[in-house]
């Protein structure tokens, strides 16, 4: 039996177990989101129920199972991957288009008979999502049940909670007491006496702690209840060393078992005014709040505060970018010298680049799984090479031909990096150079933007798309996401995406770091994405207000062998040459030998 048949058979067997649990509880359908009790972007193994049931390993998808149907809703980044991984499973790939009537909830409302029940685990379902889902299904006469975790009952060998210890983040420039003081001030403005926080990066940032409970992210599983005179941290037993426990207690923070968070909410006294963020708390935890408590809904103050990097944090980020850029120089110097001389696959690219990062001071881990995608594989924005399925870039004695996309990043104690570069393997075609140059123009267009402070970040998305739109081209993902300070590689509340709320929660402020990653994907042929991290910094004050601009933080040459200079304006050429001059100046002190020679060669002006 081949690999695809084996994986498909495993998924069919697991879906059968899910259906058996559904019959036992009398539910007509189960809805399995990709989520955990903290609504994380990347979830620990214990909550990878959707992946366990379906066999699909992408980071985002929604599974729906009935007795006679199973479907996986995925966006355009994952269509090809889902088709491959679901083969033989009996699970249909549903191409989510963000169009009216095409969501998994629309399907459930249309296909589950009136009076029947849809089950979803409320412990991992966002409060806002639960509310809208209940309303939509109720309107169709369908009952939403949130107190049943069907997948957990079917999953006999479900992984335990992670047990890695937490540690202090020594480079945090603001003390946890000062951060809590600022949060309590915001609570006072909203009339709240208490504040419950579940999002892991908010908890880690407020506590100046880091951990290793989530792959690639320095996070730990915990909830936090901020009170007038202190705070309660709900965390697994044994995860906090004695010395760190003493430091926390000295700051008024007491430790409590992880699974007591809901009970602590139940025990809140009447008259309490509890601040919760409806986008960042689960339905299950909200249900635990007693009727005598007044719930105040608003954005977590820490979510906005941590997105606005201080000058000291930006200085640390610049150091991380220099170390990361030096690693990339060493990698690309090896890569170009090895073409035609050594066997290179997409897996080799991942291994060699990861090894170069691991040699740099302050490196902790990758910030996400490296995407090394050659030719047609790069047309899948979130492609991931595996031992069983990957492309060969070249073999000894070959003259390879194509383009290679590498999207990668590192977690350093001084910052989180995320960068995408595309390089030619052999001589690029005129069409490849045209596509690359159009994407580059979009990247430059956003990089050069000046805008009033408070501009809603989704509105800036169009700046990167404009050069592509002018040619009738587009890409199916957002242009950028926020990035944390040795935290989440995907951080809110801001980002360059038309799907984000266009309100005060996504207003651009100084210190916000965002990725700038326009792309262009031609299925079956190639994909192009050029990504830098950019920081919003003060530009000027005029009679019309305070204006911001972007500082490009990422430091690695953009391969001009793929550029068609005839398609660039004078201003775009000047920006690219100035960027390369900065890259050369900042990275030269960190590289030597072949990496130094490569850096000098690849930063020559157009």
Which residues have CB under 8 Å from 367's CB, separation 6+? 216, 217, 409, 410, 411, 416, 417, 418, 489
Cα 102 to chain center, whole Å?
24
- Distances in Å between the alpha carbon of 104 and those of 97, 110, 140, 157, 498? 11, 10, 14, 28, 20
Other Cβ atoms within 10 Å of 180 Cβ, number: 22
> Measuring CA to CA, which residue among 225, 281, 280, 229 is closest to residue 258?
225
Rg (CA), the chain: 25
Distance, in Å, from the CA atom of 52 to the CA atom of 437, rounded to the nearest integer, reads: 41
Which residues have CB under 8 Å from 304's CB, separation 6+? 493, 505, 509
Instruction: Tell me the per-residue pLDDT of 282-341, one tens digit each, with 9 for 90 and over.
Output: 999 999 999 999 999 999 999 999 999 999 999 999 999 999 999 999 999 999 999 999
Specify burial of residue 134 (Cβ count, 10 A radius: 0-12, 13-18, 19+). middle
Query: What would the two tokens of residue 205 be?
Result: 């940032």
Contact 497, 456 (CB under 8 A): no
Number of alpha helices (DSSP H) and beta strands (DSSP E) in the chain: 18, 30
- Give the global pTM: 0.92
Q: Name residue 70's beta-bridge partners.
A: 65
Distance, in Å, from the CA atom of 407 to the CA atom of 201, rounded to the nearest integer, reads: 23
Query: What would the two tokens of residue 277 be?
Result: 């963020």
Between strands 392-394 and 415-416, the pairing is unpaired
pLDDT at residue 422, rounded to an integer: 98
Distance, in Å, from the CA atom of 377 to the CA atom of 423, rounded to the nearest integer, reads: 14
pLDDT at residue 563, rounded to an integer: 98
pLDDT at residue 20, rounded to an integer: 97
Give the CA count within 13 Å in the CB-facing half-sphere of 132. Answer: 10
Residues of the chain where predicted confidence (pLDDT) is lower than 50: 1-2
Give the CA count within 13 Å in the CB-facing half-sphere of 405. Answer: 28
Q: List strands edge to edge, sheet with 513-516.
A: 450-452, 545-552, 532-542, 513-516, 480-482, 491-496
Other Cβ atoms within 10 Å of 540 Cβ, number: 10
> Residues 344, 346, 347, 349: what is their CA dihedral angle, to the nearest 10 degrees?
70
Any idea what the Cα angle at residue 131 is, between residues 127 and 132, rounded to 5°? 120
Query: In 140-175, which residue ranges form alpha helices assigned H by DSSP?
Result: 150-154
Distance, in Å, from the CA atom of 531 to the CA atom of 554, rounded to the nearest integer, reads: 9
> Measuring CA to CA, which residue among 317, 558, 548 is closest to residue 424?
558
Query: What would the two tokens of residue 319 be?
Result: 């150091």
Query: All domains of the chain, ordered by start, with CATH?
Result: 3-154 (3.40.350.10), 167-300 (3.40.350.10), 308-602 (3.90.230.10)
Query: In 339-394, which residue ranges form alpha helices assigned H by DSSP?
Result: 346-358
Contact 536, 514 (CB under 8 A): yes
Cα 201 to chain center, whole Å?
12
Other Cβ atoms within 10 Å of 398 Cβ, number: 16
Specify burial of residue 488 (Cβ count, 10 A radius: 0-12, 13-18, 19+). buried
- Distances in Å between the alpha carbon of 453 and those of 82, 481, 492, 511, 548? 41, 18, 17, 11, 6
Q: Name residue 344's beta-bridge partners.
A: 394
Backbone angles phi, psi at 184, to 5 degrees: -65, -35
pLDDT at residue 5, rounded to an integer: 62
Q: What is the DSSP string of 309-329?
A: --HHHHHHHHHHHHHHHHHHH
């Amino acid at each position: 039996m081949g690999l695809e048949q084996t994986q498909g058979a495993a998924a069919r067997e697991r879906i059968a177990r899910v259906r058996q649990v559904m019959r036992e509880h009398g539910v007509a359908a189960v809805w399995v989101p990709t989520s955990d009790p903290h609504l994380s972007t990347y979830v620990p193994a214990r909550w990878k129920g959707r992946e366990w049931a379906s066999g699909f390993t992408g980071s985002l998808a929604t599974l729906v199972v009935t007795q006679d149907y199973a479907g996986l809703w995925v966006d355009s980044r994952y269509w090809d991957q889902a088709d491959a991984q679901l083969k033989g499973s009996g699970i249909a790939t549903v191409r989510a288009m963000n169009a009216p009537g095409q969501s998994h909830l629309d399907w459930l409302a249309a296909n589950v008979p009136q009076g029947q029940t849809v089950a979803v685990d409320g412990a991992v379902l966002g409060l806002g999502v639960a509310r809208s889902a209940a309303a939509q299904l109720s309107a169709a006469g369908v009952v939403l049940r949130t107190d049943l975790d069907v997948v957990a009952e079917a999953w006999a060998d479900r992984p335990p909670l992670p047990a890695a210890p937490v540690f202090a983040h020594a480079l945090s420039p603001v003390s946890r007491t000062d951060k809590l003081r600022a949060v309590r001030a915001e609570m006072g403005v909203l009339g709240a006496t208490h504040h419950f926080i579940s999002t892991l990066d908010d908890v880690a940032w407020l506590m100046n702690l880091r951990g290793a409970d989530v792959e690639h992210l320095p996070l730990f599983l915990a909830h936090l209840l901020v009170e007038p005179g202190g705070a309660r941290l709900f965390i697994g037993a044994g995860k906090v060393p004695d010395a760190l426990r003493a430091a926390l207690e000295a700051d008024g923070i007491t430790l409590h078992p992880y699974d007591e968070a809901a009970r602590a909410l139940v025990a809140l006294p009447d008259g309490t005014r509890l601040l919760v963020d409806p986008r960042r708390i689960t339905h299950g935890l909200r249900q635990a709040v007693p009727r005598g408590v007044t719930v105040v809904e608003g954005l977590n103050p820490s979510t906005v505060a941590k997105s606005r990097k201080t000058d000291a944090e930006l200085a640390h980020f610049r150091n991380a970018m220099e170390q990361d850029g030096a690693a990339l120089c060493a990698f690309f110097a090896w890569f170009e010298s090895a073409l035609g001389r050594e066997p290179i696959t997409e897996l080799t690219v991942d291994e060699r680049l990861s090894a170069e990062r691991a040699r740099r001071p302050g490196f902790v881990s990758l910030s996400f799984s490296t995407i090394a995608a050659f030719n047609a594989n790069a047309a899948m924005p979130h492609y991931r090479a595996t031992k069983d399925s990957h492309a060969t870039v070249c073999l000894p004695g070959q003259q390879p031909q194509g383009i290679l996309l590498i999207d990668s990043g590192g977690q350093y104690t001084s910052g989180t990096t995320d960068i995408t570069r595309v390089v030619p393997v052999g001589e690029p075609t005129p069409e490849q150079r045209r596509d690359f140059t159009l994407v580059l123009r979009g990247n430059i267009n956003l990089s050069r933007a000046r805008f009033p402070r408070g501009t809603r970040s989704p509105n800036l998305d169009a700046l990167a798309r404009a050069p592509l739109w002018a040619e009738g081209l587009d890409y199916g993902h957002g242009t950028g996401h926020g990035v944390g300070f040795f935290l989440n590689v995907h951080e809110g509340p801001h980002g360059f995406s038309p799907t984000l709320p266009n309100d005060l929660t996504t207003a651009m402020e100084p210190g916000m770091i965002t990725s700038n990653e326009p792309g262009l994907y031609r299925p079956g042929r190639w994909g192009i994405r050029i990504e830098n991290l950019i920081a919003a910094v003060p530009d000027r004050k005029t009679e019309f207000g305070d204006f911001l601009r972007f500082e490009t933080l990422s430091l690695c040459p953009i391969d001009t062998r793929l550029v068609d200079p005839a398609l660039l304006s004078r201003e775009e050429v000047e920006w690219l040459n100035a960027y390369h001059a900065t890259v050369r100046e900042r990275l030269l002190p960190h590289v030597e030998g072949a990496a130094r020679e490569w850096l000098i060669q690849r930063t020559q002006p157009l």
